[in-house]
Amino acid sequence: MNIIFLGAPGSGKGTQSERIIDKYGLVHLSTGDMLRAEIAAASELGLAAKSIMDAGGLVSDEIVIGMIEKRLTEKGALFDGFPRTIAQAEALDKLLAEKGQKIDCAIHLDVGKDELMNRLLGRGRADDNEATIANRLAVYQTQTAPLIDFYRAQGKVHTVVGNGTIEETSAKITAILDTLKL
């Protein structure tokens, strides 16, 4: 099965991914983690991505699609923070179709803005200051939130209210995945 986690910055995509991958035997594909690894390695790609990420923008579709393409296998995947634009979503559908696969389910983690702010300010990552977070939330609304309708049109969206504790949110997600029996 192939699953997508959709949600605003700080909604818990990365946190929940860690709890889900082993249970369902999925490969964890986080474009955020891949980009941070490139920055840590001081690669050319990392250097180009760093200023964009620090400003709260989105790295180019071409770069992130290329990173995902390199890592796709025959195994089911959990896509964490990818796709973030319609162009990325269309590219992913195409790449999966070439392997005879598809997205089975898109989990939309829905968390209120105040809670998102609290979590991100408490996390302390380089791109977690107030101005950057405000930009990331705005970019999410314009570029990424339209993906909810994109996947809803395919009948794949399951919305999980993620304001509660990490454990409560995990329980809601596993209940959905268990019901789907993918």
Nearest to 151 by CA among 2, 31, 6: 6
13 an active-site residue? Answer: yes
Joined tokens for residue 166: 């990490």
If DSSP codes are grouped into helix, strand and coil, which group holds residue 18?
Answer: helix
Largest separation between any pair of C-alpha atoms in the chain = 44
The yes or no reply on residue 144 touching ligand B4P (CB under 6 A) is no
Stretch that binds ligand B4P, among 39-47, 82-90, 99-107, 145-153 (CB under 6 A): 82-90
Site for ligand B4P in 117-136 (CB under 6 A): 119, 123, 136
C-alpha span between 153 and 11 (Å, rounded):
23
Name the amino acid, one letter, at 71: R
C-alpha span between 42 and 82 (Å, rounded):
22
119 an active-site residue? Answer: no
CB of 132 to ligand B4P, least distance (A): 8
Catalytic residue among 99, 113, 125, 152: 125
Catalytic residues: 13, 84, 123, 125, 136
Query: Which residues of the shown chain bind ligand B4P in the complex (CB under 6 A)?
Result: 7, 9-15, 31-32, 35, 52-53, 56-59, 64, 81-82, 84, 88, 119, 123, 136, 165-166, 169
